[in-house]
Amino acid sequence: MKLSESVLIQGLRSIVGEANVLLGEQISDDFLKERRGRFSSQTMGVVMPGTAEEVSALVRFCKQNSLPIVPQGGNTGVCGAAVSVEDSVIVNLARLNQIRKVDATGFTMEAEAGCILANLQAAAKESNLYLPLSLGAEGTCQIGGNLSTNAGGVNVLRYGNARDLVLGLEVVLPNGDIWNGLNALRKNNTGYDLKNLFVGAEGTLGIITSVVLKLFPLPVHRSTVLIAMESVENAVELFSRTRKETSDFASSFELMSRVCVESAFQNIPDCKDFFDQPYPWYVLMELGDSTRDGISQQLSESFLESAFEDGIVIDAVLATSEKQSQEMWRLREAIVEAQLYEGKSIKNDVSVPLDCIAEFVEQSISTLESLIPGIRPFAYGHIGDGNIHLNLSQPRDMDGDEFFGRWHEVTDIVHEITDGLNGSFSAEHGIGLLKLREMTRYKSSVELELMRSLKMALDPDNIMNPGKVLPGSSH
Ligand SMILES: Cc1cc2nc3c(=O)[nH]c(=O)nc-3n(C[C@H](O)[C@H](O)[C@H](O)COP(=O)(O)OP(=O)(O)OC[C@H]3O[C@@H](n4cnc5c(N)ncnc54)[C@H](O)[C@@H]3O)c2cc1C
């Protein structure tokens, strides 16, 4: 028998307490709206459990009553994966926010899934250690959300993405069982690697409640350099040299086109130009080390010298203080914000093999400019990972809604070119609701069937974030 909504709400309250079930006007837009404004939630309520046992009881209750669940972290995802479209219950993990242990000998950290990423970074730093996962949303996103999206960010080059940083997980499965896989071992070959099922699953296979993460030596010496260049080809060549000539000390290698930085100068007050003339492309590079005397600065100086001599670099500014380094990073981070002032924009998050980056950028921009004259491409991204965000701003003289109406036409072109270069249509943001069409188009039937089998095995009633990731998986 289907229970009435008020009885269901009573049931949820009995598990987590009345104050932790938000209803109606108690639910702010922070829980309901996706950051880019493309998706917003319909929900019976937002439930905020405080322990893994409460999560487990909630899941059992929802399963018994066929109530779909949307796990939610900081709701900073950009594909509509944490929004509720089927009147589901949003289970927000913010109250699971304890950092349990920082182990300075084993270089690990154990924490609950609702911890905000920036708080984990700070806790590692207090112990003179480093949690390298770093992204623009780090003050709001939660580690459970980071793992569920397999987040990337600015340090993937050296340290890998979220998947590479996790050693153990605790997960509440769709039947309510708690799987305790919270080990801190670097070596553990005991059957299937279950944790990797849940990393990048976007909450469709279970709710992550705790994590064990790898930590690293804190890079106390850093060298941040802003480099001006003529072409994307030169940026790729410089990247290859950086890896070879700096003992792989580079943690970030970020590409920005002139259009991007120009928009930041115009729209964001604290952004400034470091050169006395414009250049077509820029790279923001960072090297870091934890040696006693520090060798990053010396390494970047000597290697840039040879790149100058070979004509790969036109100009470069080495940050001489922490403040200047922050100003350079501010320029990179301001691009997303600056583009908001340029009207509507169609976003992409693709990756291609490194030797195809220049071809991808050139081919995409020229095809799109013929399709929509006046379209303004903002090309930037984590070039060392082959991950380019080719975001397209509307032509100045076009209506924003008319431009948005061409979303599929534009993304189809970018994704076709990406696919032709053996790339991926989603490098780091995931699928959610936004890229279901692409899953059907670019994933083989074998891959999709394998994913469906896994989903069916773990969640036969399809209560865990239905409709996301897998095409046709709505409740
Ligand atoms: C300004 C800005 C910059 C960004 N930069 C980057 C970037 O550089 N790299 C990058 O990869 N992403 C980036 N993102 C995207 C976003 O921040 C990441 O995807 C982030 O990892 C999402 O974390 P969250 O806690 O906000 O998750 P949410 O948005 O709340 O959820 C994302 C997905 O994870 C699931 N989920 C959340 N918590 C759990 C849990 N405990 N258990 C199971 N499933 C869960 C949700 O159901 C959903 O499917 C950026 C976003 C913004 C707004």
pLDDT, tens only, 96-149: 999 999 999 999 999 999 999 999 999 999 999 999 999 999 999 999 999 999
Q: What tokens were used for 261?
A: 């930085």
**pLDDT at residue 85, rounded to an integer:** 86
**pLDDT at residue 204, rounded to an integer:** 98
Q: By residue range, what is the domain housing residue 174?
A: 99-217
Which of 340, 372, 402 is at the close of a domain?
A: 340
Give 3-state DSSP helix, strand, coil % of the chain, rounded to 5: 40, 20, 40
Report whether pLDDT(447) > 90: yes
Which residue's CA is the closest to the ligand 1 atom numbered 28? Answer: 75
Nearest-angstrom CA–CA distance, 145 and 93: 9
Ligand 1 centre to CA of 119 (Å) is: 16
Q: Which residues line ligand 1 (CB under 6 A)?
A: 35, 70-78, 81-82, 93, 113, 135-137, 141-142, 144-146, 148-149, 151-153, 202-203, 207-208, 336, 428-429, 465, 468
- 288 shares its domain with 365: no
Ligand 1 atom nearest to 146, measured from its CA: 21
The β-bridge partners of 208 are 171
Which of 283, 316, 340 is at the close of a domain?
A: 340
Nearest-angstrom CA–CA distance, 76 and 138: 9
Which residue's CA is the closest to the ligand 1 atom numbered 23? Answer: 145
Nearest-angstrom CA–CA distance, 9 and 26: 14
pTM exceeds 0.85, yes or no: yes
Report whether pLDDT(250) > 70: yes
- In terms of C-beta density within 10 A (0-12 exposed, 13-18 middle, 19 or more buried), how is residue 457 classed? exposed
Pocket test for ligand 1, best of 30, 76, 164, 468 (most atoms within 8 A of CB): 76
pLDDT band at 1; cut points 50, 70, 90: low
Nearby residues of 79 by Cβ (< 8 Å), 6 or more positions away: 426, 429, 430, 431, 432, 433, 434, 435
Ligand 1 atom nearest to 208, measured from its CA: 42
Average pLDDT, the chain: 95
Nearest-angstrom CA–CA distance, 340 and 332: 15
- 205 shares its domain with 119: yes
Ligand 1 atom nearest to 428, measured from its CA: 11
Which residue's CA is the closest to the ligand 1 atom numbered 36? Answer: 145
Ligand 1 centre to CA of 297 (Å) is: 33
Pocket test for ligand 1, best of 72, 337, 388 (most atoms within 8 A of CB): 72
Q: Comparing 241-250, 343-352, 353-362, which segment has the lowest mean pLDDT?
A: 241-250
The model's pLDDT over 161-193, given as tens digits with 9 standing for 90+, comes to 999 999 999 999 999 999 999 999 999 999 999
pLDDT band at 473; cut points 50, 70, 90: confident
**pLDDT at residue 248, rounded to an integer:** 85
The answer to whether the beta carbons of residues 262 and 256 sit under 8 Å apart is no
Which of 290, 305, 340 is at the close of a domain?
A: 340
E strand or H helix at 108: strand 108-112
Residue among 21, 148, 170, 25 at smallest CA distance from 90: 21
Check residue 164 and report its DSSP letter: G
pLDDT band at 407; cut points 50, 70, 90: very high
Ligand 1 centre to CA of 149 (Å) is: 6
Structural domain contains residue 467: no
| 68 backbone dihedrals φ, ψ, rounded to 5° | -65, 150
Structural domain contains residue 475: no
Q: What tokens were used for 190?
A: 């005991």
DSSP-derived pairing of the beta strands 108-112 and 207-214: antiparallel
Percentage of the chain modeled with pLDDT above 70: 100
Ligand 1 centre to CA of 145 (Å) is: 5
pLDDT band at 87; cut points 50, 70, 90: confident
Ligand 1 atom nearest to 468, measured from its CA: 49
Pocket test for ligand 1, best of 54, 69, 141 (most atoms within 8 A of CB): 141
Q: What tokens were used for 148?
A: 């569920």
Nearest-angstrom CA–CA distance, 207 and 148: 9
The model's pLDDT over 15-60, given as tens digits with 9 standing for 90+, comes to 999 999 999 999 999 999 988 888 999 899 999 999 999 999 999 9
Report whether pLDDT(86) > 90: no
- 289 shares its domain with 378: no
Q: Which amino acid is at 16?
A: V
Structural domain contains residue 354: yes
**pLDDT at residue 474, rounded to an integer:** 82
Report whether pLDDT(3) > 80: no
Domain containing residue 334: CATH number? 3.30.70.2190
- 103 shares its domain with 212: yes
DSSP-derived pairing of the beta strands 345-346 and 387-393: antiparallel
**pLDDT at residue 441, rounded to an integer:** 96
**pLDDT at residue 37, rounded to an integer:** 81
- 185 shares its domain with 117: yes
Structural domain contains residue 437: no
Which residue's CA is the closest to the ligand 1 atom numbered 6? Answer: 135
What's the structural domain count of the chain? 4
The model's pLDDT over 259-285, given as tens digits with 9 standing for 90+, comes to 999 999 999 999 999 999 999 999 999
